[in-house]
Structure 1
Amino acid sequence: MTTEALGAPARPSPGLLSRIFAGRSGPLAVVCLAIFALWYLGTVWLNAPLLIDRYERQGEDWSITRLAEDAMAMERPVLPAPHQVAVELNKSIFQRNVTSKRSLVYHGWVTLSSTLLGFAMGTLLGIALAVGIVHVNTLDRSLLPWVIASQTIPILAIAPMIIVVLGNIGFTGLVPKALISMYLCFFPVTIGMVKGLRSPDPLQMDLMRTYSASTGQVFRKLRWPSSIPFLFASLKVAIAISLVGAIVGELPTGASAGIGARLLVGSYYGQTVQIWAALLTAAAMAGLLVAAVGMVERLVLRRTGVRP
């Protein structure tokens, strides 16, 4: 019987706002709108002093409306408006040939190449270090503190040294940037894998010893499967940091290609719109790379039976 037939009051149907905010799209849209609103307000606030100074020097009358319009249409603003960055992105991505050095697709591919190479090397190094730390007590006591201490050195301080040293021995271009990416991304992989390889329950370890399993069998059948969720959580962090490392590696070299080179050119000539377009491109690349790692994670976990 229905609640109406039993005399109980019927539950009111959820309103429109409740249905919108029940999923992910509604909250995401609200956050995006808030960010754009704050961005436009920041554009007017930061660009206003320059415009007011110009109005006073030229003896022009101005109003808040005119100030806001001019602030969002400056050629070289302190903070560009979102629509200015959107126009620059459209021009640099869709209206340029992908082989043109003025195309963000071209610069993005250059940075992506060193990012992926550094990510691959950092992942292999991190897994190798984690396996050694877990299985060799000497490495656990001596190497792990150095792995942690390595991340206290600012990457901006050692990036020029890496570039200069490798350049003197003949390594230029992709390899130095990839090594800087590797330096940044091996750390989360190492720490995550150490945690993952040590995650099996002591009862499970005792059961493997009861079956007289060798160290290799314990690793293949227990430690490695248990570490996969930890590995992918670390890889999501590592791939984003690897992109940062590739961009940082392009800065001290005065590179002519890459997102870092685009940022340098924009800073040299005061092209803040170009700088923001490059930054948003880098952010979009990082988001896509993390999403790609997440897709691989879902496939692997489904194949291993961890997730249905």
Structure 2
Amino acid sequence: MSDAAAIPATRPPAGLWLRLRQGSALPVLAVLLFILVVWYLGAVKLNAPQVRDAYERAGRAEWTTPELVADTLSMERPVLPAPHQVLDGLNKMVLQVNVSSRRSLVYHAWVTLESALVGFLFGTLLGIGLAVAIIHVASLERALMPWIIASQTIPILAIAPMIVVVLGSLGLVGLLPKAVISAYLCFFPVTIGMVKGLTSPETIQLDLMRTYSASTAQTLRLLRLPASLPFLFASLKVAISLAVVGAIVGELPTGAQAGLGARLLAGSYYGQTVQIWSALIVAAVLAGSCVGLVGLVQRGLNRRLGGAA
């Protein structure tokens, strides 16, 4: 009886371990652990010269390796802040301040998100419009596609100040220049993805629509657009992350007082590396959340259309 009672108690851990191995949690945790180890080693390596210099200036001739490591991980302005320093910075700038305060990274993330979403909307509409035009007018593919591709070869750091200056001379400042930069970055994946998606129906399906005497608009609405949805959402996930990048880049040449780009710029001016890394982490979380939201919309739409979630 005791042996039989002991068997169920040993099965759940084995089942949990099996689920971890088969799922994505264990690989993600392993990669995270590797990143943390490399991050800590890099912090010690990069901060050690400054600590040694401080020892020499203080006339301290003898020190131990554990003391050196501890001091490299507790510098006020490190070259590379350790993970626990970044977490402490996030705690101070996210949890311990009011979200409406200019010291709050949540406030700055919202400012950046506004520009990113407006740019994402403009870029998505532009990309879909170009894709629809390209598949219906054969000459436009030869005329536009080379320019669309060439537009992405220009470094955004070079073109962003030009956009800000040109729009500023027209009296357009604030959110709009940043949104234009975001739209410039995110229209490209949407255009390419939608061209591929709108041309994905097979010839037999297009012939069937012609058999039913469907107009071009009906073929677009009933066949091409539904077929393009997987391509569209894959492109939107790329585009929304690029929109966040574009909004941050757009804040750099404007001397903005708000936004994650402004926090990055202020941190670089005053050597506040913890602030820089905290803003980078918040920017990554913001972009990841936006991509996740697009994925939720995709799954919801798939369920509504009767597809697999």
What TM-score does the superposition give when structure 1 sets the normalisation length? 0.93
Amino acid paired to 1:145: P
* Separation (CA, whole Å) in 1 of partners of 2:128 and 2:270: 43
Higher helix share: 2
Q: Which moved more, 1:55-64 or 1:194-203?
A: 55-64
Alignment of 1:80-99 (within 5 A): 80-99=81-100
Amino acid paired to 1:156: L
CA RMSD, Structure 1 to Structure 2 (Å): 1.3
Shift of 1:57: 3.1
Find the counterpart in structure 2 of residue 283 from structure 1.
Answer: 284
Find the counterpart in structure 2 of residue 7 from structure 1.
Answer: none
Amino acid paired to 1:82: P
Amino acid paired to 1:31: V
Unmatched runs of 5 consecutive residues or more in structure 1: 1-12
Shift of 1:59: 2.7
* Separation (CA, whole Å) in 2 of partners of 1:134 and 1:187: 16
Find the counterpart in structure 2 of residue 171 from structure 1.
Answer: 172
Find the counterpart in structure 2 of residue 212 from structure 1.
Answer: 213
Shift of 1:20: 2.8
* Separation (CA, whole Å) in 1 of partners of 2:105 and 2:155: 28
* Separation (CA, whole Å) in 1 of partners of 2:258 and 2:303: 39
Local SS of the residue matching 1:21: helix
Q: Which moved more, 1:207-216 or 1:285-294?
A: 207-216
Find the counterpart in structure 2 of residue 126 from structure 1.
Answer: 127
Amino acid paired to 1:214: S
Find the counterpart in structure 2 of residue 243 from structure 1.
Answer: 244
Query: Which deviations, in whole Å up to 9, do the C-alpha atoms of 1:217-270 show, x marking residues without a partner?
Result: 111111000001100000000000000000000000111000000001000000
Find the counterpart in structure 1 of residue 116 from structure 2.
Answer: 115
* Separation (CA, whole Å) in 2 of partners of 1:52 and 1:243: 39
Find the counterpart in structure 1 of residue 4 from structure 2.
Answer: none
Find the counterpart in structure 1 of residue 7 from structure 2.
Answer: none
Q: Which moved more, 1:184-193 or 1:23-32?
A: 23-32
Find the counterpart in structure 2 of residue 38 from structure 1.
Answer: 38
Find the counterpart in structure 1 of residue 3 from structure 2.
Answer: none
Q: Is residue 2:53 matched to residue 1:53?
A: yes
Shift of 1:212: 1.7
* Separation (CA, whole Å) in 1 of partners of 2:148 and 2:215: 28
- Quickly say closer, same or farther: Cα 1:135–1:89, change in 2 above 3 A: same
* Separation (CA, whole Å) in 2 of partners of 1:252 and 1:302: 43
Amino acid paired to 1:148: I
Q: Which moved more, 1:69-78 or 1:57-66?
A: 57-66
Alignment of 1:167-206 (within 5 A): 167-206=168-207
Q: Runs (4+) of structure 1 moved beyond 2 Å?
A: 13-20, 56-59
* Separation (CA, whole Å) in 2 of partners of 1:152 and 1:258: 26
Shift of 1:56: 2.5
Shift of 1:16: 6.9
Find the counterpart in structure 2 of residue 6 from structure 1.
Answer: none
Find the counterpart in structure 1 of residue 304 from structure 2.
Answer: 303
Find the counterpart in structure 2 of residue 252 from structure 1.
Answer: 253
Shift of 1:205: 1.0
Find the counterpart in structure 2 of residue 21 from structure 1.
Answer: 21
Local SS of the residue matching 2:173: coil
Amino acid paired to 1:296: V
* Separation (CA, whole Å) in 2 of partners of 1:265 and 1:19: 45
- Quickly say closer, same or farther: Cα 1:65–1:15, change in 2 above 3 A: farther
Query: Which deviations, in whole Å up to 9, do the C-alpha atoms of 1:175-234 show, x marking residues without a partner?
Result: 000000000000000000000000001111111112221111111111000001100000
Amino acid paired to 1:211: Y
- Quickly say closer, same or farther: Cα 1:28–1:130, change in 2 above 3 A: same
